């Protein structure tokens, strides 16, 4: 069966907008939008519950275009259904400052739920959306009110399935029984290099059945079949569903459909003319007839859906006022009104205890203090909870209880991090995820996406240096901290003791405009004495921990475990200041007067010390200074021996200062 003529003409609006916009930009991917138009027509017109006049309606269905190179499919859908995305916006496809960049970017066009483009991360975000929906529903729904009740729809392609992250997240989605996740696989057999069968011969159906998914095969150009498959997918509440849609890439193009020619390049004016003729589309470029707009328009239906939910939620508020208030607070991302005061009280208490413990343990203590205050925390670790110390006494696994607050992600660092991005985007939660700092490398691109999308995700990384010892260079991070610090919009904290760790957690939790990385030690770190002013200044990213005795001659800058070495050197020197810099990104955002007070520009004798790659620190010490750290990979040995072997010692700091001030 093929799509009826009327539905096919409605779907053709996507095809012509996609090929026209890509042609005008002279750049883009027309094939996927043209091939998936019939699927999109069914999903968006018959199933997607959304309100174009309020794209942030909390109970809307989420839609993710994981194969983000086909962005004109998404933009066409948003425009046609009535979002604030004009025809002129489509004409500005891929142009500077347009709402329609080359790949969907969160925060540019209304209705785009996540940034996609790096293949596989969209389906990972979709798993995060579905997990957030299921957990939030379990926490807030009652026997008489389902105030959290929506689906996540995801389009994906061959590239998403070839990327390893799809295995990580789809395996976990099956295990967690995310029945409200429905994915549509654009099985067109074509990628940029040509026919994929030569390099992608997986049995996708069997693969997903093995994950515990429901799998349905359909003709991706048969509207009735797509409709029935979606009905069946929605009816399966215990399993996510994969609908494998056999499609023709670039459908409608007489000479390029079914070929790689239409994957990543404009069709060309001559081929567009032939395609219009083949589709029976007589209108000029970007011209959509009024009856087609009317067929797509979802504004009134969306307003009615939201109004019905608003009525339901008002009844919920009347019956369960405290739960409703908490849900609204969590959806806005606001912390409880008393959090700041209670967090400060905990930091003061931590200072009084003066414990010498590992910063990973200090992190767990902070979680134990903050967790009961923040029911929105949704934690997890990549099979290292006992090492990362991310479990606290109030943790309950979502695997055992859907209303829980902790996810055992298994050995899935990349998938875990991208899922956390989806959880943050969904709203209602502050996700934190953890692994060894070395294995941040597996998750690197998803960390970048946290920062790119300005999402409040807390990345906990323990075993932060050669200090982890005997596991050797495969597990000892060297260049990773510099990589994180070089990521725009990511705050990277490497605290020196319990008080700095508690402050780092407070900062991460209060930050609403981006992610935070917490870099924590395996080994114990000496407690540092501070007065109240110094404790307050930790939140500024850097502060004077050791005030110089007499005239200031030199400055030692240190982070994390090396602050102890700096303070030991400080005890042997005169005229030396120690600056603890747990978060350089926050420090450089301080006003010039504060920065100058901490690091006076006229003091050129500066030494930085960190058990990580030296290159990052030259911007703080200048070419006249010295950096003590790593310029090679580590070795397998006890931590004390490694610090001595690599020259990261108190004696080395003293010698460096003496040389600079001689």
Cite the annotated binding site for thiamine diphosphate by residue number. Answer: 69, 117-119, 159, 188, 263, 439
Return d(Cα 412, Cα 407) in angstroms, integer.
12
Contact 500, 580 (CB under 8 A): yes
Spatial CA neighbour of 159 closest among 14, 27, 263:
263
Contact 577, 598 (CB under 8 A): no
Structure tokens at 329: 């607070």
Per the annotation, where are the binding residues for substrate? Answer: 29, 263, 360, 387, 463, 471, 475, 522
Per the annotation, where are the binding residues for Mg(2+)? Answer: 158, 188, 190
Coil, strand or helix at 106: coil
Per the annotation, where are the binding residues? Answer: 29, 69, 117-119, 158-159, 188, 190, 263, 360, 387, 439, 463, 471, 475, 522
Which of the following is catalytic: 413, 548, 562, 585?
Answer: 413
- Report how far apart the first and last C-alpha atoms of the chain are (Å, whole number): 87
Angle at 161 between CA 155 and CA 167, to 5 degrees: 115
Contact 501, 363 (CB under 8 A): yes
Return d(Cα 267, Cα 72) in angstroms, integer.
14
Return d(Cα 500, Cα 192) in angstroms, integer.
49
Contact 463, 387 (CB under 8 A): yes
Question: Is 413 among the residues known to form the active site?
Answer: yes
- To which H or E segment does residue 185 belong? strand 181-187
Spatial CA neighbour of 629 closest among 570, 559, 547:
559
Return d(Cα 487, Cα 504) in angstroms, integer.
18
Return d(Cα 117, Cα 312) in angstroms, integer.
37
Contact 386, 375 (CB under 8 A): no
Longest CA–CA span in the chain (Å) reads 88
Going by the DSSP 8-state scheme, the letter that residue 11 receives in this structure is H
Instruction: List active site positions.
Output: 413
């Amino acid at each position: 069966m093929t799509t009826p003529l009327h539905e096919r003409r409605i779907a053709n609006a996507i095809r012509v907008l996609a090929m026209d916009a890509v042609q005008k930009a002279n750049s883009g991917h027309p094939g996927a939008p043209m091939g998936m138009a019939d699927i999109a027509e069914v999903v968006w017109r018959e199933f997607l519950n959304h309100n174009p006049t309020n794209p942030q309606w909390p109970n809307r269905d989420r839609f993710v275009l994981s194969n983000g190179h086909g962005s004109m499919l998404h933009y066409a859908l948003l425009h046609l259904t009535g979002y604030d995305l004009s025809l002129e916006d489509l004409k500005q496809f891929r142009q500077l400052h347009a709402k329609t960049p080359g790949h969907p970017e969160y925060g540019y066009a209304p209705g785009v739920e996540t940034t996609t483009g790096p293949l596989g991360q969209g389906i990972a975000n979709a798993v995060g959306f579905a997990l957030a929906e299921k957990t939030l529903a379990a926490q807030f729904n009652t026997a008489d009110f389902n105030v959290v009740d929506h689906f996540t729809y995801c389009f994906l392609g061959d590239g998403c399935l070839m990327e390893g992250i799809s295995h990580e997240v789809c395996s976990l989605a099956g295990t967690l029984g995310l029945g409200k996740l429905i994915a549509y696989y654009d099985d067109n057999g074509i990628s940029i290099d040509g026919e994929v069968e030569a390099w992608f011969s997986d049995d996708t159906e069997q693969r997903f059945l093995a994950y515990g998914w429901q799998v349905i095969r359909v003709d991706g150009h048969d509207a009735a079949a797509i409709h029935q498959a979606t009905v069946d997918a929605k009816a399966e509440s215990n399993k996510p569903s994969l609908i494998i849609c056999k499609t023709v890439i670039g459908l409608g193009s007489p000479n390029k459909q079914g070929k790689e020619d239409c994957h990543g390049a404009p069709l060309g004016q001559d081929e567009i003319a032939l395609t219009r003729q083949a589709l029976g589309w007589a209108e000029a470029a970007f011209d959509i007839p009024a009856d087609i707009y009317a067929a797509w328009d979802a504004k009134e239906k969306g307003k009615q859906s939201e109004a019905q939910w608003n009525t339901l939620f008002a009844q919920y508020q009347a019956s369960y006022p405290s739960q409703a208030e908490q849900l609204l607070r969590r959806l806005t991302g606001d912390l409880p009104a008393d959090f700041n005061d209670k967090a400060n009280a905990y930091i003061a208490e931590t200072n009084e205890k003066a414990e010498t413990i590992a910063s990973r343990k200090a992190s767990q203590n902070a979680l134990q203090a903050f967790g009961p205050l923040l029911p929105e925390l949704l934690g997890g670790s990549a099979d290292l909870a006992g090492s990362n110390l991310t479990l606290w006494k109030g943790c309950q696994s979502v695997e055992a209880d859907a209303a829980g607050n902790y996810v055992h992600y298994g050995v899935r660092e990349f998938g875990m991090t991208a899922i956390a991005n989806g959880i943050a985007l969904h709203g209602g939660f502050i996700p934190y995820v953890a692994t060894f700092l070395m294995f941040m490398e597996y998750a690197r691109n998803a960390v970048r996406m946290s920062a790119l999308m300005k999402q409040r995700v807390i990345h906990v990384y323990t075993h932060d240096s050669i200090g982890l010892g005997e596991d050797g260079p495969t597990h000892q991070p060297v260049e990773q901290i510099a990589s994180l610090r070089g990521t725009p919009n990511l705050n990277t904290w490497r605290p020196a003791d319990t008080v700095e760790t508690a402050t780092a957690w407070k900062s991460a939790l209060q930050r609403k405009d981006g992610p935070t990385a917490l870099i924590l030690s395996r080994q114990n770190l000496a407690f540092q004495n501070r007065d109240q002013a110094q404790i307050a200044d930790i939140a500024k990213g850097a502060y004077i921990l050791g005030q110089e005795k007499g005239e200031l001659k030199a400055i030692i800058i240190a982070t994390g475990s090396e602050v102890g070495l700096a303070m030991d050197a400080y005890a042997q020197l005169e005229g030396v200041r120690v600056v603890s810099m747990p978060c350089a990104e926050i420090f450089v955002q301080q006003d010039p007067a504060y920065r100058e007070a901490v690091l006076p520009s006229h003091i050129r004798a500066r030494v930085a010390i960190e058990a990580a790659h030296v290159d990052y620190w030259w911007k703080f010490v200048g070419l006249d200074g010295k950096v003590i750290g790593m310029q090679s990979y580590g070795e397998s040995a006890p931590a004390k021996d490694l610090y001595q072997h690599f020259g990261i010692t108190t004696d080395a700091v003293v010698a460096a200062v003496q040389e600079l001030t001689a």
